[in-house]
Amino acid sequence: MSVSEFVTHKLRNAPAAFRLFRTPPLDSTLALLSQGYRYLPTQRERQRSEVFEKRLLLRKTLCMSGAPAAQLFYDEAHFQRAGAAPRRLVHTLFGKGGVQSLDGDAHRHRKHMFMSFLAPDCIGTLTALSDQAWQNAAARWEQEDAVVLFDEAERVLCLAVCTWAGIPLPESELATRSADISAVIDSTGGLGPRHWRGRLARKRADAWLTSVIERVRAGEIALGEDAPAYVIAWHRDPAGELLDAKTAAVELFNVVRPTVAIARFVTFAALALHEHPECHDALSLESGDTYLNCFIHEVRRFYPFFPFVTARVRKNFEWRGHPFKKGRRVLLDLYGTNHDPRVWQRPEEFRPERFRGKQPSPFELIPQGGGDHFAGHRCAGEWVTTALMAGAVRFLTRTIRYDVPAQDLNISLSRAPAIPRSRFIMRNVRPQPAPFLQAP
Q: pLDDT tens digit string along 269-282?
A: 999 999 999 999 99
Rounded CA gap, 218 and 234, in Å? 11
Rounded CA gap, 107 and 111, in Å? 6
Q: 417: cis peptide before it, omega within 30°?
A: yes
**Which pLDDT score is estimated for 221?**
97
- Say which residue, 9 or 151, is predicted with more confidence: 151
**Which pLDDT score is estimated for 14?**
44
Contact 125, 164 (CB under 8 A): yes
If one counts every other C-beta atom within 10 angstroms of the C-beta of residue 219, the result is: 8
Rounded CA gap, 131 and 124, in Å? 10
Question: How long, in residues, is the chain?
Answer: 440
pLDDT at residue 9 greater than cutoff 80: no
Per-residue pLDDT tens digits for 353-408:
999 988 888 999 999 988 775 555 566 678 999 999 999 999 999 999 999 999 99
- Say which residue, 352 or 286, is predicted with more confidence: 352
Q: Which of 138, 163, 266 is nearest to 221 (CA)?
A: 163
Strand partners, 330: 62, 311
Phi, psi (rounded to 5 degrees) for 319:
-140, 120
pLDDT at residue 22 greater than cutoff 70: no
Confidence band of 20 (pLDDT split at 50, 70, 90): very low
3-state secondary structure 401-421: EEECCCCCCCCCCCCCCCCCC
**Which pLDDT score is estimated for 89?**
81
How distant, in Å, are the alpha carbons of 313, 333, 362, 377 from that of 316?
A: 7, 21, 25, 21
**Which pLDDT score is estimated for 384?**
94
Per-residue pLDDT tens digits for 123-146:
999 999 999 999 999 999 999 999
Helix, strand or coil, per DSSP, at residue 188: helix
If one counts every other C-beta atom within 10 angstroms of the C-beta of residue 164, the result is: 24
Confidence band of 424 (pLDDT split at 50, 70, 90): very high
Q: Residue 143: which residues within 8 A CB-CB, separation 6 or more?
A: none
pLDDT at residue 440 greater than cutoff 80: no
Average model confidence (pLDDT) across the chain: 90
**Which pLDDT score is estimated for 377?**
52
Confidence band of 16 (pLDDT split at 50, 70, 90): very low
pLDDT at residue 179 greater than cutoff 90: yes
Architecture of the domain spanning 3-431: Orthogonal Bundle (1.10)
Helix, strand or coil, per DSSP, at residue 79: strand
DSSP code per residue over 343-368: TSSSTTS--GGGGTT----TTTS-BT
**Which pLDDT score is estimated for 435?**
58
pLDDT at residue 5 greater than cutoff 70: no
**Which pLDDT score is estimated for 6?**
46
Mean pLDDT value across residues 63-92 = 89
Per-residue pLDDT tens digits for 277-318:
999 999 988 878 999 999 999 999 999 999 999 999 999 999
Rounded CA gap, 175 and 137, in Å? 13
Contact 40, 69 (CB under 8 A): no
Query: Residue-wise over 332-343: b if at least 16 C-beta within 10 A, else e?
Result: bbbbbbbbbeeb
- Say which residue, 95 or 26, is predicted with more confidence: 95
Neighbour order of strands in the sheet with 400-403: 146-148, 425-431, 400-403
Confidence band of 4 (pLDDT split at 50, 70, 90): very low
Q: Which of 89, 70, 327 is nearest to 189 (CA)?
A: 89
Contact 157, 150 (CB under 8 A): no
**Which pLDDT score is estimated for 381?**
76
Mean pLDDT value across residues 78-106 = 84
Mean pLDDT value across residues 44-54 = 93
Confidence band of 21 (pLDDT split at 50, 70, 90): very low
Rounded CA gap, 135 and 268, in Å? 20
Q: Which of the 8 DSSP states describes residue 86?
A: -
Mean pLDDT value across residues 405-420 = 96
Q: Which of 265, 294, 238, 298 is nearest to 396 (CA)?
A: 265
Strands 59-65 and 400-403 turn out to be unpaired
- Helices 149-165, 382-394: crossing angle, 10 deg rounding: 130
Confidence band of 90 (pLDDT split at 50, 70, 90): confident
Domain boundaries, the chain: 3-431
- Say which residue, 293 or 57, is predicted with more confidence: 293
Contact 97, 250 (CB under 8 A): yes
- Say which residue, 158 or 90, is predicted with more confidence: 158
Confidence band of 436 (pLDDT split at 50, 70, 90): low
